[in-house]
Amino acid sequence: MAEFVTLEVSDGIGTIRLARPPMNALNRQLQEELRAAAREATVNDEIAAVIVYGGEKVFAAGADIKEMADMTFAEMAPIAGELQSALGAIADIPKPTVAAITGYALGGGLEIALGADRRIAGDNAKLGVPEVLLGVIPGGGGTQRLARLVGPAKAKDMVFTGRFVGAEEALAIGLIDEMVAPDEVYNAARAWASKFVGGAARALAAAKASIDQGLDTDLNTGLKIEAAQFAALFATEDRTIGMASFIENGPGKAKFVGK
């Protein structure tokens, strides 16, 4: 049984819950439990979409600095990649994902949220990558995912200064996609995730892969990725069901089976 991370499934939605009070500090055990939960969410066919949530008061206030404070270069070098992949585990889930952010999402906490397809935050949320104030830089994907999301200039401002960004500014710069009252964050995330329950799971996965992989390369290569993903869907049951339903009943009425 995991101690700090749980995966709960209801009505086709999986909720990965971070629970290490009081601030959900991301020690190595939590990181590995997050990786395991993301893997389970990937392979569980009952799950159509995934929410990552830190609870009503805080998303996650960063890495466990006490755990890192006495580490040497020789100790950190072989595990830095593991840290990065664990905090980026949400990005590897081939299903729609949404981060439900309440309170602080700082350092590694924000890096986890950056791996989601969508971010919904309470209007009291504070987001940031303050690692420079500790003499280091974001090491869980923050320098890369943040710059791709908000652009290099805004990412550099946040990384260089380590300042916290409020929810309104985060919405304005595209760091979050929706701002709601703090007690509505999880419900808003479920409302978005529920759109994909009963959807064409293989097509959603192909769309996600095409966008994510295409952004990492040039346009021509991205178009080839899209073409390959598009053609592969003609081997799925859902493509047959979807097109037959469209011809017979019009759009939006197909009953997909996820295969």
**Pairing between strand 5-10 and 13-18?**
antiparallel
Residue 78: cis peptide before it, omega within 30 degrees of 0: no
CB 140 within 8 A of CB 84: yes
CA distance 3 to 29: 9
Which residues does the annotation mark as catalytic? Answer: 111, 131
Contacts of 156 (CB under 8 A, 6+ apart): 147
Strand partners, 6: 17
The CA distances from residue 236 to 95, 230, 239, in Å, are 17, 11, 6
User: Distance (Å, rounded) from C-alpha 109 to C-alpha 13?
Assistant: 21
